[in-house]
Chain A
Amino acid sequence: MLARRIIPCLDVKDGRVVKGVSFVDLVDAGDPVQIAAAYDEAGADEVTFLDIAASHEGRDTILDVVRHTAEQVFIPLTVGGGVREVADIRRLLQAGADKVGINTAAVENPEFVREASRAFGSQCIVVAVDAKRRNPENPADGWEVYTHGGRKARGIDAIEWVQRMEAMGAGEILLTSMDQDGQKTGYDNALNRAASNVLSIPLIASGGVGELSHLYDGLVDGAADAVLAASIFHFGTFTIAETKEYLAGRGVRVRT
Chain B
Amino acid sequence: MTPPRIAIIDYGRGNLRSVQKGFGKVGYEARVTRDPDVIADATHVVLPGVGAFADCMANLEDFGLIGPIHSTVESGKPFLGICVGMQLLFTEGEEFGTHKGLDILPGRVVAFPQGMTVGEGEHVERLKVPHMGWNRLHVTRQSPLFRDIHEGEWCYFVHSYHAVPEDLSVVAATSQYGVLFTASVWNDNVVATQFHPEKSDKAGLSMLKAFAEWQC
Contact = CB atoms under 8 A, between A and B. Distances in A.
Interface of A: 1-5, 40, 45, 70-72, 74-76, 93-94, 96, 98, 120-124, 171-172, 199-202, 225-226, 255-256
A74 B177 contact: no
Given A45-B133, A71-B25, A200-B129, A121 B50 contact: yes
Given A74-B199, A74-B200, A172 B132 contact: yes
17 contacts: A1-B135, A1-B176, A2-B127, A2-B134, A3-B134, A5-B133, A45-B134, A71-B24, A72-B25, A74-B25, A75-B200, A76-B156, A121-B50, A124-B15, A200-B128, A202-B130, A255-B134
B5 interface: no
Contacts, number: 89
Contact of B118 (A1, A96, A120, A172): A1
A221 B130 CA distance: 22
B128 to A, nearest CB: 5
B15 A93 contact: yes
Contact of A123 (B132, B154, B177, B200): B132
A222 B187 CA distance: 43
A2 B18 contact: no
A227 to B, nearest CB: 12
A2 B131 contact: yes
Nearest to B158: A123
B76 interface: no
A223 to B, nearest CB: 8
Contact of B133 (A71, A122, A199, A202): A202
By size class, the interface of chain B is 35 or more
B15 to A, nearest CB: 6
Chain A binding site: helix, strand, loop or mixed by DSSP?
Answer: loop
A225 B158 CA distance: 14
A103 B175 CA distance: 34
Given A122-B130, A200-B129, A202-B128, A3 B15 contact: no
Interface in B184-202: 198-202
B34 interface: no
B93 interface: no
B78 interface: no
Contacts of B25: 71-72, 74
Nearest to B127: A2
A201 to B, nearest CB: 6
A88 to B, nearest CB: 16
Nearest to A172: B132
B128 A225 contact: yes
A75 B128 contact: no
